[in-house]
Amino acid sequence: MDGERIAPRRTPSHPNRYRWTPVTESAAIEAAEVPHVRPAWAPVTLVAFVLLVIATNVASGVWARWVETNPEGLLLLSSRNRYLALTLAAGVSVPVYVVIGFVRIGAAFLVCHMIGRAYHDDAIGWFRKYLGVRRDAIDSFNRGFSKAEWFLIPFFAGSNIVAALTGVHRTPPVRLAVLLTVGIAGRLALMWWLARTFEVQLVEFLEWLQRYQWWAVGISIALVVLVNLRNLRGA
């Protein structure tokens, strides 16, 4: 029959036999296109993300002072690559560096992952607008994510968008944990190697920074305000 396909259904009088009844294509499409239902805990993920953004902005404002006076606190606020390298040069111990780095990067990834699970495609749209990423770039990531997640998750362990895509695509928890652990470990190892390789240059930069510390703090705060205004305007 045109536009129809046949589906089996058991009958009470013959429990082991099938009676064939037609199911229209429109009904099949409606069954397949089940709308995404946001879980009750969804708003909690947004609150957590806002707190992480606030922490990152605070780090961007105080890093010039905290990198020497409170490197552990700086890493807790934000574990961006530049802070990882600078805090190592400032003398933070490797065990503290590893523990805080794992916790901070992993927490940010997990929050964005849960936003992706809770808000699905809406989450991708929010990240795209806020971060100023082109739609075609996001679409290409989204289309091929399931096949490329073995590479994307470890390589982009610090990416909010990749983390959200793991939630949208429901990456299995064990696979996600393994790939994320590999990615964070690789990132921390790379930044440790770079900090050791360029230790002299980083120490000289820190010494220069201390002479102009408050200028650096003031400029950093101004940049934080300007960047956030630009992002909010774009959103």
* DSSP-derived secondary structure for 208-223: HHHHTHHHHHHHHHHH
Position 157 scores a pLDDT of 92
pLDDT (tens digit per residue) in 128-143: 776 667 777 777 777 8
- 161 vs 179, higher pLDDT: 179
Judge if 114 and 165 occupy the same domain. Answer: yes
pLDDT (tens digit per residue) in 84-126: 999 999 999 999 999 999 999 999 999 999 999 999 888 888 8
**Domain of 10?**
1-34
Judge if 5 and 61 occupy the same domain. Answer: no
Position 50 scores a pLDDT of 92
Judge if 29 and 120 occupy the same domain. Answer: no
Query: What pLDDT band is residue 213 in, cutting at 50, 70 and 90?
Result: low
Judge if 2 and 112 occupy the same domain. Answer: no
- 170 vs 232, higher pLDDT: 170
Judge if 115 and 229 occupy the same domain. Answer: yes
- Total count of domains within the chain: 2
Rounded CA separation 16/45 (Å):
48
pLDDT of 21 higher than 60 = no
Judge if 86 and 21 occupy the same domain. Answer: no
Query: What pLDDT band is residue 228 in, cutting at 50, 70 and 90?
Result: low
Judge if 12 and 101 occupy the same domain. Answer: no
Among the ranges given (1-5, 116-120, 167-171, 228-232), the one the predictor scored with the smallest mean pLDDT: 1-5
Rounded CA separation 192/109 (Å):
21
Bridge partner list, 22? 6
For the chain, the average pLDDT equals 82
pLDDT of 15 higher than 80 = no
Judge if 91 and 183 occupy the same domain. Answer: yes
- 115 vs 4, higher pLDDT: 115
Judge if 75 and 175 occupy the same domain. Answer: yes
